[in-house]
Structure 1
Amino acid sequence: MIFSSINQNRLYLKVADQILDLIKQKDFSKGDKLPSERILSSELGVSRPTVREAMVALELADMIEIRTASGIYLKHAATKSAKLLIDGGPGPFEILEARQIFEREACALAAKRISDEQLDKLEALLDAMLEENESLSPTEKADEEFHCEIAKASGNSAIYQTVMWLWQLRNESDLVSHFHKQTRMDGIRPIIEDHKKILDALKARDTEKSRAAMDEHLHRVIESLL
């Protein structure tokens, strides 16, 4: 396979377009298995999260099918004129990376400023999260409220509004919503133990432990989604 190296500052859509070009050039047929994300990441010179975002864009465009623990398969043969038509907003991993930056600092600030009432609310949201995880039709509403409540408890309205906006991006983007819907179908749920560690650190009013707990949690989320 011959790929041209992709500049790191380009978005996942550039990667998706080049993979689409590969499909056209190599005359892949319906049902053919495509190179793995790891191979594509190496060949294209971009990170695996970027390749994963590109694959989700192609899946949402109904070009490919991602089969867990099996691989990536071409759903429809691509015509020479085929184009990728999808919104160009931030991808799911871009949003997660941004959340990791803002939410770990929000958590550190919250450790100093959170009220007892807010701690009680987080405790209730943790219980709600567990119930959601066990539901036959799981959502992540309690997870979202848990994270946004911590951002609110930081006492910094700019950070709070930024975290709210990142969750809004996550919920309103077709690409990102599709991605998280698929991960829920694959059995990936909010990690209760991680959220309990975050809550325990906040209860202890420990700034460093709170920052570390949130940072480790979101890093684990990124790794699990890969």
Structure 2
Amino acid sequence: MKPSIEAIKVRRLYLQVAEQLQQLIENGAFAIGSRLPAERELASQFGVSRPTIREAMIALEISGLVEVRSGSGVYVLERAGTRQLPEMQAPGPFEILEARGLFEGEACALAAQRINADQLDRLAQLLAAMEQEGQSVEQAEAFDQQFHCGIAEASGNSAISATVAWLWQLRNGSEISTRFHQRVREEGSRPIVADHEAILQALREHDSNAARGAMANHLQRVIDSLMEQSG
């Protein structure tokens, strides 16, 4: 009888970290009610970035192993039997943002060369809608998504447009990402309007380098802001 061959699965980095932490928790290395080491310390010990540690903590929270207390830290919950980490197939929220930085920066540079007056007017309308007072965070985020996807469409490349739309679908559809963004909404996170104004101005001037830089700066600022707000 020939030995069976199993398909090789690439395990997401944040899940590898979460699994090791789960084993330490289950083995009693971290007592119930104790606070896990600081994020920066864990990042150094595991040899990964702080966003990866943040994603691992969200996975552990979803599994019911820890509680994330804003401004205080991550605490081990009482164990009621063995809990398993959920099978998360989607990338973590910071992985998605990093990918968006790569794709949307170049999409914005290309759009600066190809965008037309109607598309610029549409982006201006979305930016104005994003700035309106009294709307919910969800409404502002919907305008934000349309703004970014509109730029990808203005690149004139259907593959780029489809890829950017897919990254937004990952952001809005995966369990780990929706849990994360729900928390930062509760902390008051909203789209950064000033950044979008800078992006739109670069597009109006048809300046590819400025457009690329404005988008890259915006998404890096989003990462930095979310790291601060979700801590």
Q: Normalised by the size of structure 1, how large is the TM-score? A: 0.89
CA contact (8 A) 1:104 1:211 kept: yes
Q: Distance in 2 between matches of 1:50 and 1:90?
A: 11
For residue 121 of structure 1, give the secondary structure of its aligned residue in structure 2: helix
1:49 Cα offset (Å):
1.1
- Structure 1 unpaired stretches of 5+: 1-8
Counterpart of 2:44, as a letter, is S
Change in CA separation of 1:217 and 1:34 when aligned onto 2, cut-off 3 Å: same
Matched, 1:11 2:13: yes
Counterpart of 2:64, as a letter, is D
Matches within 5 A, 1:201-220: 201-220=202-221
- Tell me how large the CA RMSD over aligned residues is: 1.8
1:39 Cα offset (Å):
1.1
CA contact (8 A) 2:137 2:185 kept: no
Aligned to 1:146: 147
Matches within 5 A, 1:120-139: 120-131=121-132, 134-136=134-136, 138-139=138-139
CA contact (8 A) 1:13 1:88 kept: no
- Structure 2 unpaired stretches of 5+: 1-10
CA contact (8 A) 1:122 1:149 kept: yes
Q: Distance in 2 between matches of 1:137 and 1:218?
A: 18
Candidates 56, 59, 80, aligned match of 1:57: 59
Q: Distance in 1 between matches of 2:34 and 2:137?
A: 32
CA contact (8 A) 1:61 1:86 kept: no
1:96 Cα offset (Å):
0.7
1:219 Cα offset (Å):
0.8
Aligned to 2:109: 108
1:29 Cα offset (Å):
4.3
1:35 Cα offset (Å):
1.2
**Structure 1 range deviating more: 61-70 or 182-191:** 61-70
Q: Distance in 2 between matches of 1:207 and 1:125?
A: 21
Candidates 39, 42, 47, aligned match of 2:41: 39
Q: Distance in 1 between matches of 2:159 and 2:169?
A: 15
Change in CA separation of 1:114 and 1:174 when aligned onto 2, cut-off 3 Å: same
Counterpart of 1:51, as a letter, is I
CA contact (8 A) 1:59 1:65 kept: yes
Counterpart of 2:67, as a letter, is E
Q: Distance in 2 between matches of 1:137 and 1:223?
A: 19
CA contact (8 A) 2:32 2:76 kept: yes
CA contact (8 A) 1:128 1:142 kept: yes
Q: Normalised by the size of structure 2, how large is the TM-score? A: 0.87
Aligned to 1:6: none
Q: Distance in 2 between matches of 1:129 and 1:75?
A: 39
Change in CA separation of 1:218 and 1:78 when aligned onto 2, cut-off 3 Å: farther
Paired positions, count: 216
**Structure 1 range deviating more: 26-35 or 138-147:** 26-35
Aligned to 1:73: 75
